[in-house]
Structure 1
Amino acid sequence: MADMFIFVNGTTTDMSKAIQKVDISKLPARVSQPYTLTKNFNLNIHESRILIRILQQIKQHQRIELGTQIDINDNVKMRFRPKDLTVGNDLKLVYDALSSIRKKQIVLNGTTTDEGNEVQTKTITGIITEATYDVNHSFVDISLNFEWFKLLVDLTKGYTPYLSNVGFQTSNVHHLVIYQYICHWFKPGKSTSVDSKELDEKQIRENFKIAAYKDLRKIIDRVIQPCKEELDKYADNSFNFKLIRVNPEATRGRGAKIKTVLFKFYQNKKEDINTTYEPKRVAKKIEEFSKIYGLTKDQEAMLGALAKKYDLSYVSTIEYANRKYLRKQEDFIKALHKLISKQK
C-alpha cells in the first residue's frame, strides 16, 4: 500500500499571531486525530509519539485560540524539546522517526485561479514538511503545510478523540493502534457508537497493522491479551474478547480452529482522570494559585480535586487564559470549574 491518501481542504482561519514555544506540561490530555492516519499509514511507535505531540499542540490552539507562526513557505512551525517527543534518552530514535514520518505523503485537494478561471488543484505534502534540530539536542522545529494544519484544527471534521498518554505509556505500536480503533468505533452516548466488532485473522492484521506471527493464536497471545492488560491500566476505553471457533463444541482438532475474535468494548471510567497525576507538581501549582487568589484551605483542597480530575496542565491553561476574569470573581473555584466544564 502506498503511503499516500487524500484529504479535502478545510475552511480558512486567521492564524496571524506568533506561536508560543511548546510547553508539554500545558498540553491537553486528549487529542483528536483523523482515523485515516491510523488506517492508511503504518506508523511506528516513535512516529506516533511525534504525531501525538503535534496533535496536542493543535488541540491547544483549538481550546484557547492561540495563533501560530507561519514561515515564508506557508508552513506552520512548532518547536519542541527532542526529549519531549520520546520515552527514555535515545534521541536518535526521535531523529530517525522525524526522517521517516516526513516521507509519508498526503495529497490535499484545493482550488486556485489561473488566468481568471478557478481550477482544481492537488498539493503533495507530508505529515510533516520539514524538521530542523539543534545538534546539541536543545530543540527541534517541526513544520506542517498550512492547509494540512487547518484541516487538523477543523473541529467540524469529527476526528477520533483519544488520550495522548497511551502512546507514551505503551511501547507497542499495535496496542496504540488497537486503542485508536476502539475509540474510532466506540463512542458512548452517541447514536453512531459501536460496542463490539467480530474480526477474522485477515481483518485483525489489516486493522491492527500486524504482519508478524504465523497464526491467529500467536497474535492473541503476543498482542491482543497484553494490549487488553495495558489498556485496562492506562486508557479510558478497553475491551474483552471471545474466541469464536469453527465448531463451538470442539476442544481440539480442526473444529477447534479459531474462526474469528469477538471484541466487546467498554469504558474504564477514567475519561476525566489525569493518568499522569503528580501530587508534588499539583501542590506547587496550588501554592502559586493561593498567592494569586488568596485561597482558603478548603478551596486549595477543591482545586487539588479539579487538577486530579481534569489534568493539571489543562486547569493551568484555562486559569492563565482567564486570569483577568477570574480575579474579579467572588468564588474563584466555582468560576474556574464553570470555565472548565464549558470547555469540556
Structure 2
Amino acid sequence: MEERGEVRKKILHIITRSDWTGAQKVLYGIVYGLKENYSDQFEVEVAAGKENGMLFEELDKVGVKYHVVENLVREINPVKDLKAYFEIKKLIKQGNYDIVHAHSSKAGFLARIAAKKCGVKKVIYTYHGFWGIEQYRGIKKSLLIWAERFAARYSDYLVFLCNREKEKAEKYRIGNPSQYVIIPNAILPIGNIQKGKLRRELGIPDHVKIVGNVARLDRPKNPMRFLQVAEKVVQERDDVIFVWIGGSIVEDFYAKQVQQYLDERPWLKEKVKILGFRKDAIELMADFDVFLLTSDNEGMPLVVLEAQQLGIPVVSTDVGCVGEMIDSVYSKKEDLALNLLKILNENDYVSHRYKEIYDRFIENHISIYRK
C-alpha cells in the first residue's frame, strides 16, 4: 500500500468503440486484473463509444462501471469529434481521475489532450499497432503522424506491444524514449474447453485437419491471402478444411470479394467455410489443428496468444509483433502454404505457462500506474 493510505487511485480506461475485438479485449484484460487483484489500491472505470456495446456487456458481468461517450466514433467527423472531446473532458473533470489510460487512435488523441487540460497527473496511451497510420500514403499519412507527435506531448507513457512497434514510433519521431514502455499483450488464462464443437457444427470427421483463422473480414486481415493459401494446400492434401471465423464490422466489401473468389472456384468452396462473427470463437478454435494468420498489419494479435494457449501451432505473415511471438514468420503465400503443410505432417506442439504470462502483464501495468 502506498502513502495515500486508504485512498485508491482512480483510473479511467478509454477506447473508441465498444465492440469485442483485439484492443477491447486487451483493455478488458487489464481492467479485470485490476478489479480482481488490486481493488484495494485502484478504482477502475471504462469509457467508450456506443458502437456496438459488446464490451459494455462484458464489463457488466464483472461489475466494472462504464460510461458511454455518445459522439465518439471511429470515422473522422469534425462535428462529432469536437462534441466527443467536450464529452470526454466533462467526464474526466467529474470523475477526478488520477490516471487516464487511452487505447485506439481517435480516443487516444482526444482523451490525452482532454486529460492533460483537466490536470490529470498521469496519462498513458497504448499503441495496438500502427495500421491507423500505415494504411495511408502521402499527405494523409503525414498528417496522422503529425497528430500522433502532437498527442505524444500530452502523454506521460507510450506503451508498445513489442520492440518492433517501439522502433516504428522512433522512425516516425513520435514521443521520446523516456516515455517508451514495452508491455507484451497477454490474455486471461483459458479454462478447460472441450474439443468437438466446430467439428459437430460443420460435420467435419476427426481424420480431417482444420486450418483456421479468427478475424474481421477486412483489408488489414487479408482474407484473400487466406483463400490463396487454402487453394495451394488443398491441391496437395484432400483431408484439410479451412475455416474463417469473423465477419465485416465496417463494410462488407471483403465479404463480397471472398464470396466471389469462392463462387469462381466451386471445388475450393467445398474446402473453405466462412462462419461470420461468433462470440464462442474460442470454443470453436479448440478444434483447429493449425492457426493461419494472413494479415498485412497487426499489433500483437490476441488470437495468436489464444491459439498458443490452446496448444495450436501458428503459421503467420511477418506482421506487427508476431515475429517476436513465434519462431518463424513468412512474407510469401507460397512459404505460408509450405510451412502449413509441414506442420500438418508433424503436429507436435506444446503450449506455454500462460497464467504466469498474464500475471506479469498485469504487474507491468501496475508498475507504471504506481510510478
Is the TM value for this pair above 0.5? no
What TM-score do you get using the length of structure 2 for normalisation? 0.25
Greater relative contact order (Cα < 8 A, sep 6+): 1
- Structure number with the higher strand fraction is 1
TM-score by length of 1: 0.27
